[in-house]
């Protein structure tokens, strides 16, 4: 915007002075071009920012779907792990039973175990209970036992019962079948059936775990796809965010240059305004000396007119009373002006 100031002219004319100097016009032209460029850069930056925001929203949406798939995978993996743990327990019980079967087969063939500690708890328990039963039967039925012999049998019976009580918790904990050593073949068949049952349960568990794994595999594929999509959207977000930041940096530099030009124009306008105020103050002072006021007005008006810095924007009261045919030259016109104090 071109600003205009009025200088006070003692001759009665209003002198309009504008700041449309060649230097100002050049600055304003540059300022207009910069503001146009700034608008274009703002639009470009905002476009990049909108693209980045859209990519971020798409990325977040895909990542949310990926998290749901991941939770499903974890849930099924835990279920599969639990089933395989149960299958492992059945396998261990099967192996334990098969070990006992081998012990019984060896005993049925007449093999004796020198080290009773190496035999399983179920065999020891069976032997202990068999021996307890024999002693109890003898005490109850053998009337020829002496008192001393009977006391010895009772002491042995007490030791065997303590041993039996120590073996029972281990046998019960592992669900071991009590064996009757009087029927080794029957015990072996019973243990084989139990081992087969445990083996079947183990197989069923592994089959169920495999079914769950078949359900998990497509989820892995979907998870990987969503992860790749999330990475793709994130890469687009980063690229647009970088472009927006670069344009913003250029825009800030341009704003800095715009501010410099505006400050320079403001300084020029302030200097011009100050000069005009000083001129008006001096002109009003000269009104107290009529002879000098006319000379000063002529001098200043001629100087400003010749430089092209002023335009005549009106006439005084006396000029409006004259007609074109009766107007005099500049000098006689000035002699008819009567400056008034206090104007």
Geometric angle at alpha carbon 178, from 177 and 179, rounded to 5°: 110
How high is the pLDDT of residue 288?
56
- DSSP-assigned letter for residue 177: P
- Confirm whether 102 is domain-assigned: yes
Give the residue numbers spanning the domain of 128.
Answer: 79-226
Regarding pTM above 0.85, the answer is no
CB under 8 Å to 319, separation ≥6 — which residues?
A: 12, 327, 333
- Confirm whether 134 is domain-assigned: yes
Q: Are 52 and 244 in contact (CB under 8 A)?
A: yes
Question: 3-state DSSP call for residue 27?
Answer: helix
> What's the structural domain count of the chain?
1
Which token pair is 77? 């993996």
Residues 150, 152, 158, 163, CA torsion sign: negative
- Confirm whether 341 is domain-assigned: no
Which token pair is 253? 């530099």
Cα–Cα distance, 267 to 66 (Å, whole number):
61
Cross-strand pairs, 312: 15
- Confirm whether 123 is domain-assigned: yes
Tally of CA atoms within 13 A in the half-sphere of 62 that contains its CB: 19
Which token pair is 71? 């939770």
Task: Please give the chain's pLDDT, 343 residues, in tens.
Answer: 444 444 444 444 444 444 556 667 777 888 888 888 989 999 999 999 999 999 999 999 999 999 999 999 999 999 999 999 999 999 999 999 888 888 777 766 654 444 444 456 777 888 888 888 888 887 777 777 777 887 888 888 888 888 888 888 777 655 444 455 556 777 788 888 999 999 999 999 999 999 999 999 999 999 999 999 999 999 999 999 999 999 999 999 889 888 888 888 888 787 778 777 777 777 777 665 555 555 655 666 565 555 555 544 444 434 433 333 333 333 333 333 333 333 3
* Tokens 């600003």 belong to residue: 3
Question: 3-state DSSP call for residue 14?
Answer: strand
- Confirm whether 213 is domain-assigned: yes
Cα–Cα distance, 314 to 37 (Å, whole number):
41
Which token pair is 261? 């030009």
Cross-strand pairs, 14: 8
- Confirm whether 24 is domain-assigned: no
- Confirm whether 71 is domain-assigned: no
Burial per residue of 193-205, b for 16 or more beta-carbon CB atoms within 10 angstroms, e otherwise: ebbeebbebbeeb
Range 250-256, long-range pairs (CB < 8 A, 24+ positions): 250/41, 251/38, 251/41, 251/42, 251/45, 254/34, 254/37, 254/38, 254/41, 255/38
- Confirm whether 70 is domain-assigned: no
């Amino acid at each position: 915007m071109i600003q205009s100031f009025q200088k006070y002219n003692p001759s009665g004319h209003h002198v309009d002075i504008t700041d449309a100097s060649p230097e100002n016009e050049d600055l304003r032209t540059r300022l207009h071009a910069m503001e146009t460029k700034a608008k274009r850069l703002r639009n470009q930056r905002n476009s990049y920012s909108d693209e980045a925001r859209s990519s971020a929203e798409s990325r977040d949406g895909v990542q949310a779907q990926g998290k749901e798939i991941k939770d499903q995978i974890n849930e099924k993996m835990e279920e599969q792990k639990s089933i395989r743990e149960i299958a492992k327990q059945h396998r261990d019980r099967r192996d334990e039973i098969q070990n006992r079967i081998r012990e019984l087969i060896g005993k049925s063939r007449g093999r004796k175990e020198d080290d009773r500690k190496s035999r399983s708890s179920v065999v020891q328990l069976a032997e202990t209970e068999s021996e307890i039963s024999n002693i109890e039967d003898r005490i109850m039925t053998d009337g020829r036992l002496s008192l001393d012999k009977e006391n010895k049998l009772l002491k042995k019976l007490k030791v065997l019962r303590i041993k039996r009580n120590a073996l029972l918790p281990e046998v019960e904990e592992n669900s071991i079948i009590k064996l009757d050593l009087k029927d080794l073949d029957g015990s072996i068949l019973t243990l084989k059936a139990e081992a087969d049952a445990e083996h079947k349960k183990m197989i069923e568990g592994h089959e169920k775990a495999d079914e769950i794994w078949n359900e998990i595999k497509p989820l892995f594929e979907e998870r990987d796809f969503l992860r790749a999509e999330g990475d793709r959207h994130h890469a687009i977000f980063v690229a647009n965010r970088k472009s927006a930041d670069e344009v913003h940096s250029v825009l800030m530099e341009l704003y800095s240059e715009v501010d410099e030009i505006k400050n320079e124009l403001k300084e020029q306008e302030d200097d011009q305004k100050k000069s005009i105020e000083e001129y008006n103050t001096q002109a009003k002072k000269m009104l107290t000396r009529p002879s000098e006021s006319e000379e000063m007005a002529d001098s200043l008006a001629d100087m400003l007119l010749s430089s092209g810095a002023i335009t005549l924007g009106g006439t005084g009261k006396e000029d409006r009373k004259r007609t074109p045919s009766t107007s005099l030259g500049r000098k006689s016109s000035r002699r008819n002006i009567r400056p008034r104090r206090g104007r």
